[in-house]
Chains A and B, each alone.
Chain A
C-alpha cells in the first residue's frame, strides 16, 4: 500500500476537518487520521484498564465506530476530542458490561511493549502504570476520565470538555479536583516529589 499523505502531528484542526471529509470516501485519509490518533486512544484505554488485551479491544472498537460514523464529524472541535469522546463511551460500556472496574491484570501488564526500555526501567514503568490505574479507580469516574484524557491522551482542557460534553471550565475543574483526589486519597502521591 502506498501512502500518499504525510503526517503532520501539529496540524491545525482545519486540516483534520478536510481530512475527515475526505475520509468519508477515501480509506487513505481515514488511515492518516487513525495513525495520528491511535496512540492517544490506546493510552487512554490503558490508563483505565491496565490490560493490553482490553486496551486493544477498546481501541479497535473506538476506531471501527469512528469509521462508521465519520460522516457525523462536523469539525466543530478537534478530531482528537471527537474520537476520544467515542473512546470514553466505549470504555463506559465496557465497564458497565463487566459490572465493575476490574483489577489490573499483571500478566497483561507484563507484556506492555515499550521498545527501548531497560530491564528495571521496564519493571518500574509497569509498576507505575499499575499504581495509576488502581488510583484512577479510587476517584470518581468522571474525574478519572478527565485525568486520563488530559495526561494520557494529551488533550487540552477545551478538548477534554468536548470529549466529555462539558465546558472547558468544567473540564478544568474535573482535572484539578481529580489531581487533588489522587494526591490526597491515593498512594500515588508517594511516587512523586514536588
Chain B
C-alpha cells in the first residue's frame, strides 16, 4: 500500500484486508487477450485516400484487360459494372466454433493404487442406523438440513459457507482420540457446482484443520470433480491440495490418518483397494474429528451428502 501511513491500526487492518482481497482478483486470460486483439484491430490505421484511388485504378485496369482478352466475358463484365450485384439469397455468418472445455491435466504422481491393511482396533463406529451415536456434537446445527435415512445413511444437505469463515452449518464433530488414529467413512455425493464439498474433518479450530473431501472446483489447480485434501494452518492453506480425479462413481470411501504430525489421505471405490491422495505434515492439534458438507454458494441448493458410516480406528 502506498502512502497509507496515516491510518490507525484498525483502519490499516481493514485497508490491508481490502488490498489483499484485491490482489487475489485475477482477470481472465482469455478475456484479456480478446480485448487486446479487439483494441489492436480498432487501432489499425484506415486506408488513405491515395490508396483508395490506387485500388480503384487497379480494379479498372483488370476489368479492361479482362474485357480485351475474354470477349465472352465482356457482357458479364458490363452487367456487373452497370448494376450492383445482389446476393441471390441472404448470406448468414458462419458461427465460430470455440473450444469450451479444457482437458484436465494428469493426476499427481502420488496417486497410486495400493492395498492397505485396516487396523482393527476400533475406537468408535457409527452406522447411522436410526439414531446418532453417543458424544456427537453439532456445530451450527441446522436441524432441517440433516437427517438419518431409513436405509441407514446420515444425510447432510450441502450448506452455504466454509469452515474458515465460521459460516458453515451442520459440522458433526466429536472429540478426537489421543494418540494416532484413522478415520473412515463411505460417502455418496455428487457435487453440482464449485466449490461444494463433503467429507472428513480433523479440526483444531477455524484456522487449523485438515479436510479430505469429494468436491467440485473450477479453477486450477482444482479439477472439476475430484478429491481434495486441504490443510489449513494458522488461517492459511498449505499450497498443495492433492486434487485427484474421482474414481468413476459418486459412492466412495474416504480414509484419513493422523500419525505423529502427519495426515495421510486415501480414497477407495470398494473399501478394499485404497488410492493414496496425499500427505500433509504441518503440525496442528487434532481436538475434534467429524463429517461435514458445505461450500455451496446457492443457499437454496438441496444437494445431499450421504454418509454410510463413520469409523475411528486406533493406530500404533
Given contacts A120-B195, A176-B7, whether A1 and B40 have CB atoms under 8 Å apart is yes
Whether B221 is near chain A, meaning CB under 8 Å from some CB there, is yes
- Find the B residue at minimum CB distance from A191: B17
Residues from chain B with a CB closer than 8 A to the CB of A100 are none
A114 touches B24 (CB 8 A): yes
Q: How many A-B residue pairs have CB under 8 A?
A: 174
CB atoms of B13 and A31 under 8 A apart: no
Q: Is A14 an interface residue (CB 8 A)?
A: no
Residues of B within 8 A of A74 (CB): none
Query: Contacts A116-B220, A156-B3, A179-B15 hold; do A31 and B22 have CB atoms under 8 A apart?
Result: no
Chain A 103-151 residues near chain B, CB threshold 8 A: 106-107, 109-129, 132, 147, 150-151
A59 within 8 A of B: yes
Q: Chain A: how many interface residues by the 8 Å CB criterion?
A: 64
The yes or no answer to B116 lying at the interface (CB within 8 A) is: no
Question: Is B138 part of the binding interface, using a Cβ–Cβ cutoff of 8 Å?
Answer: no
Taking a contact as CB atoms under 8 Å apart, the answer to whether A118 and B241 are in contact is yes
Choose, from B28-36, B56-64, B82-90, B182-190, the stretch at the interface: B28-36
Contacting residues, chain A, for B81 (C-beta < 8 A)? none
Q: In the complex, how many angstroms separate the beta carbon of A67 from the nearest chain B beta carbon?
A: 6
Count how many chain B residues have C-beta atoms less than 8 Å from C-beta atoms of the other chain.
Answer: 64
CA distance A192 to B165 in the complex (A): 11
- Which of B44, B239, B241 has its CB near the most chain A CB atoms (within 10 A)? B241
- Knowing A27-B43, A124-B165, A191-B17, say if A117 contacts B7 (CB, 8 Å): no
Q: Cβ of A123 and Cβ of B295 under 8 Å apart?
A: yes
Find out whether the CB atom of B39 lies under 8 angstroms from the CB atom of A189.
no
A64 interface residue (CB < 8 Å to B): yes
User: Is A56 among interface residues, defined by CB-CB distance under 8 A?
Assistant: yes
Residues on the A chain within 8 Å of B43, using CB: 27, 30, 67
Complex-state Cα separation, A191 to B27, whole angstroms: 24
Is the Cβ of A127 less than 8 Å from the Cβ of B165? yes
Contacts of B202 in A (CB 8 A): none
Q: Known: A27-B44, A157-B3, A176-B7. Contact between A111 and B218, CB under 8 A?
A: yes
- 10 additional contacts (CB under 8 A) given A111-B218, A154-B2, A180-B11: A39-B27, A110-B193, A113-B29, A114-B24, A118-B228, A126-B297, A127-B161, A151-B15, A154-B22, A192-B10
Residues of chain B at the chain A interface (Cβ within 8 Å):
1-4, 6-7, 9-19, 21-22, 24-29, 31-32, 35-36, 38-40, 42-45, 161-165, 167, 193-195, 197, 211, 213, 215, 217-222, 228, 230, 232, 237, 239, 241, 295, 297-298
Seen from chain A, the residues whose Cβ lies within 8 Å of a Cβ on chain B are: 1, 25, 27-28, 30-31, 34-35, 38-39, 42-43, 46-47, 52, 56, 59-60, 63-64, 67, 106-107, 109-129, 132, 147, 150-152, 154, 156-157, 172, 176, 179-180, 182-183, 188-189, 191-194
Q: List 11 A-B contacts (CB under 8 A).
A: A30-B43, A43-B27, A113-B28, A113-B219, A118-B230, A119-B195, A119-B222, A119-B228, A122-B194, A127-B167, A192-B17
